[in-house]
Amino acid sequence: MWGLQQLKQKRRGSWGAVLLLGGLLALATSLPAYATAPTFNPIPPPPPAPGSYALVASKTEPAPTTAATISTPANGGSFTSSPITVSGLCTTGLLVEIYDNGVLVGAIDCTSGSFSLQVSLFTGQNDLLATQYDDLGQASPDSNTVTVSYNNASFSAFGALITLTSNYARRAADPGQTLTWPLQLSGGTGPYAFSINWGDGTKPDLKSQALAGEVDISHVYNQAGIYHVTVTVTDVNGVSAFIQLVAVANGKPASTNGSTSKPKTVTVTTVVWLPAVACMVLLLPTYWLGRRSQLVSLHKKLEKDMANYKEL
């Protein structure tokens, strides 16, 4: 009897296991498979709309072949103050970039075959060279290298010299649009004070920054033209750095002849003789007719008065 009950319990357990396994299989087939990531077919780009055009343009011209020449300062010079003036010969219309120990320290457009700008120096040896760039960003050969030294005892009391540079010697924007310029500041001790002269006659922008690093400056030009931007930074100890750059407001520059006088108004008096002669000719007859009309009126009035007198 006891063995029969054990056999029944085993059969019930087997049937329960079968039913449980069947339920799990049914549930698995009814649920979506999340074990693998779904795949998506990319949507192909739409075909060109009717009447549309694709335009690809390029402008090529040879890179500048003439190198600039640094004539000032002289090679081997020694300085105790900074910035200094760097000048020389260049190709008119090109952008002249000045590098000191491989770092951009200033830029200016070449005018009338020469350039002149101020640049900050590093403490110790400074290897200066100039490179010209056309509007396509093509570089000319490097200029002669001028090596000068800079020693200022005041920096030993305050620490490292400030370095101010940028990856962009020239930036452009349309008039009325914001021109943004990233600069790179290193050295010195914060906070730092900046003065930015945008070269368009507006008041210099003033800003401050607590730490060294990237600095963004921005400005809006109202008129097209080429402008010389000068940026001066001073740290908490009075140590300063300087950089000059070139900003371009796209479009045709306005006249810069400096004349502010208004156009002169010229009054021309024309004497018309024919009407004057006609008036003189008609004046006497008109006068005579007027006098005759007055005499006729007086004569009629006298006749009327005489008639009234006779009736009395």
Q: Which domains does the chain have, with CATH numbers?
A: 62-152 (2.60.40.10), 160-253 (2.60.40.10)
Phi-psi category of 93—alpha, beta or left, where left has phi over 0 and alpha has psi -120 to 50? left
Note the pLDDT of residue 161.
Answer: 81
Mean model confidence pLDDT for the chain: 76
Note the pLDDT of residue 251.
Answer: 87
- Please report, as a single letter, which amino acid is at residue 67: A
- Whether residue 165 contacts residue 104, with contact meaning beta carbons closer than 8 Å, is answered with yes
The HSE-up count of residue 238 (CA atoms within 13 Å, CB side) is: 5
- Whether residue 253 contacts residue 223, with contact meaning beta carbons closer than 8 Å, is answered with yes
3-state secondary structure of 99: strand
**What is the DSSP secondary-structure string of 43-64?**
PPPPPPPTT----------PPP
CA distance 119 to 242: 7
**What is the DSSP secondary-structure string of 192-255?**
EEEEEE-SSSSPPEEEEESSSEEEEEEEE-SS-EEEEEEEEEE-TTS-EEEEEEEEEE-SPPPP
Residue among 104, 119, 100 at smallest CA distance from 241: 119
CA distance 197 to 142: 29
pLDDT single digits (tens) 55-79:
555 667 899 999 999 999 999 999 9
Note the pLDDT of residue 50.
Answer: 65
258: pLDDT strictly greater than 80: no
CA distance 25 to 238: 81
pLDDT single digits (tens) 107-131:
999 999 999 999 999 989 999 999 9
Phi-psi category of 278—alpha, beta or left, where left has phi over 0 and alpha has psi -120 to 50? alpha
Tell me which of 176 and 251 has the higher pLDDT. Answer: 176
CA distance 92 to 111: 5
Confidence of residue 210 (pLDDT cuts 50, 70, 90): very high
**Mean pLDDT computed over 14-22:** 51
45: pLDDT strictly greater than 60: no
What proportion of the chain, given as a percentage, has pLDDT over 90?
52
CA distance 159 to 190: 12
Residues 6 or more apart in contact with residue 225 via CB below 8 angstroms: 200, 248, 249, 253, 254, 256
Note the pLDDT of residue 114.
Answer: 97
Note the pLDDT of residue 53.
Answer: 59
Note the pLDDT of residue 61.
Answer: 83
Confidence of residue 92 (pLDDT cuts 50, 70, 90): very high
Phi/psi at 44 (nearest 5 deg)? -65, 150
CA distance 106 to 120: 9
Confidence of residue 159 (pLDDT cuts 50, 70, 90): low
**Mean pLDDT computed over 239-261:** 75
15: pLDDT strictly greater than 70: no
80: pLDDT strictly greater than 60: yes
